[in-house]
């Protein structure tokens, strides 16, 4: 039953992606496949590269939402999960309920308590990272664009231009986090 629903939703996601590509040529469409690359599990519609993406967002998102509502109101019954962002120029649509907190739980469940000696760090730049931020021992929000000011549930903030320096310092410190490796040069 679940496989059949995933296949139906995959088909609908593919149709939505195709329809948007024809109606909005400026939108970058990222297809997210399952690990076996057989089922389309989600689609991101991205327009952050556009100069005036905020006005584009105001036109595009209602159009996309209308298409999704129309597709879900007719048989067969679909159950798509729409992830919108108040301040980001993209939308995610998934074939089932999922979030980064669920992914965090799955990954950490694969690490036994005897293997887990140190704290787990999570880095993200969007409000869809909040479920994982709240679960991580160290949560670092990345400010990737000064035009965006998402409400991040993280304990630390790092500007994107400092990310490579931070990661290098983290590596040099044997992947042990300390506040001083966040400091600018």
SS3 163: helix
**Tokens in use for 74?**
């007719």
Specify whether 6 is located in the same domain as 83.
yes
Predicted model pTM? 0.72
The domain boundary residue, chosen from 60, 94, 128 = 94
What is the pLDDT averaged over residues 102-123? 83
Specify whether 33 is located in the same domain as 87.
yes
Q: Is the pLDDT at 1 greater than 60, yes or no? A: no
Residue with the larger pLDDT of the pair 160 and 111 = 160
Specify whether 36 is located in the same domain as 107.
no
| The 40-46 sheet, strands edge to edge | 28-33, 40-46, 90-94, 81-83
Position 68 scores a pLDDT of 75
Domain of residue 137, residue span: 100-182
What is the pLDDT averaged over residues 3-8? 72
Specify whether 158 is located in the same domain as 74.
no
Specify whether 149 is located in the same domain as 89.
no
Specify whether 107 is located in the same domain as 156.
yes
Position 75 scores a pLDDT of 58
Question: What total number of domains does the chain contain?
Answer: 2
Specify whether 108 is located in the same domain as 63.
no
């Amino acid at each position: 039953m679940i496989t059949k629903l995933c296949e139906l939703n995959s088909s609908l996601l593919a149709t939505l992606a195709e329809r948007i590509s024809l109606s909005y040529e400026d939108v970058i469409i990222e297809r997210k496949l399952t690990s076996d690359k057989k089922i389309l599990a989600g689609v991101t519609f991205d327009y952050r590269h556009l100069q005036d993406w905020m006005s584009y967002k105001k036109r595009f998102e209602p159009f996309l939402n209308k298409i999704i509502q129309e597709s879900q109101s007719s048989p067969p019954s679909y159950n798509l999960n729409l992830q919108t962002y108040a301040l980001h120029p993209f939308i995610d649509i998934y074939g089932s309920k999922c979030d980064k907190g669920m992914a965090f739980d799955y990954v950490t469940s694969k690490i036994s308590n005897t293997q887990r000696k140190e704290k787990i760090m999570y880095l993200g730049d969007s409000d869809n990272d909040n479920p994982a931020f709240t679960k991580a021992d160290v949560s670092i929000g990345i400010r990737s664009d000064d035009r965006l000011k998402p409400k991040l549930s993280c304990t630390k903030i790092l500007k994107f231009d400092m990310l490579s320096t931070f990661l290098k310092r983290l590596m040099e410190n044997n992947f042990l986090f300390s506040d001083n490796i966040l400091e600018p040069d």
